[in-house]
């Protein structure tokens, strides 16, 4: 479980194909002795398991195995050396829940349609996959590339968010350009609420 509050920006240093999965090594600033084997780390959204870790010079590295399902549903298939990734380690009991509840189970990929920079901030407009658009509501939460963000507006399958200078400084969002694909996880409560209305007899959705 995560909050969508990015705690480090890592960099892919190597990608090795191993049949239907890829072994990815990621450089980060986390202390090496704090990355346990089997630990969950959100890497640009997907929750991945650390299968090896160590230190190289001033940098820590950890490795994850990215399976076929993750490669199919996320941007992980495009990762290559030099790609920067938003990182977040999993919550511990007693940690502050400052963003929103994020599972690291990416639902699909959204596309950046437009970017407007002004006053040190950045407004982005995205197109969500049609099947996921109904879970995105104005003033609701979404996780994009592992970042907890508030939806500013929704029109059909398009939605917009606003990034403040701090978010641009401590994440990969300053690197993004129109046309880029980003990992999208819709709000957990919205997904369950929609599922309940589909399956529970006599339940009506208020509009």
The region of weakest confidence among 2-11, 95-104, 110-119 is: 95-104
Per-residue model confidence as pLDDT tens digits over 6-41: 999 999 999 999 999 999 999 999 999 999 999 999
Lowest mean pLDDT among 61-70, 130-139, 198-207: 198-207
Average confidence score pLDDT of the chain: 90
The confidence band for 207, taking pLDDT boundaries of 50, 70 and 90, is: very low
Please tell me the distance from the alpha carbon of residue 146 to that of residue 106, in angstroms, as a whole number.
9
Percent of the chain scoring above 70 in pLDDT: 87
Predicted TM-score (pTM) of the model is 0.89
Question: Residue 206: pLDDT above 90?
Answer: no
**pLDDT band at residue 56, thresholds of 50, 70 and 90?**
confident
pLDDT (0 to 100) of residue 179: 98
Task: Write out the two tokens for 93.
Answer: 């009991």
Distance CA 99, CA 158 (A): 22
Locate 182 and state its tokens. Answer: 């980003």
d(CA 47, CA 51): 13
- For residue 95, pLDDT beyond 90: no
Q: How far is residue 6's CA from residue 85's CA, in Å, rounded to a whole number? A: 10
Which residue segments constitute the domains of the chain, with CATH numbers given?
8-89 (2.40.30.20), 108-196 (2.40.30.20)
């Amino acid at each position: 479980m995560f909050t969508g509050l990015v705690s480090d920006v890592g960099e892919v240093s190597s990608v090795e194909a191993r049949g239907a999965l890829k072994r990815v090594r990621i450089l980060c600033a986390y202390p090496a002795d704090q990355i346990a084997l089997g630990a969950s780390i959100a890497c640009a959204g997907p929750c991945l398991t650390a299968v090896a870790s160590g230190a190289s010079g001033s940098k820590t590295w950890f490795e994850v195995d990215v399976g076929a399902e993750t490669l199919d549903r996320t941007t992980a298939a495009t990762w290559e050396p030099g790609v920067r990734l938003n990182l977040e380690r999993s919550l511990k009991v007693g940690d502050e829940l400052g963003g929103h509840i994020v599972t690291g189970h990416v639902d699909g990929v959204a596309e950046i349609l437009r970017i407007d920079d002004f006053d040190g901030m950045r407004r982005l407009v995205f197109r969500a996959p049609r099947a996921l658009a109904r879970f995105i509501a104005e003033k609701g939460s979404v996780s994009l590339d592992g970042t907890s963000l508030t939806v500013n507006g929704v029109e059909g399958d398009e939605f917009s968010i606003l990034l403040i200078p701090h978010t641009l400084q401590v994440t990969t969002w300053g690197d993004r350009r129109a046309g880029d694909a980003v990992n999208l996880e819709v709000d957990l409560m919205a997904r369950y609420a929609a599922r309940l209305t589909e399956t529970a007899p006599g339940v009506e959705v208020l509009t």
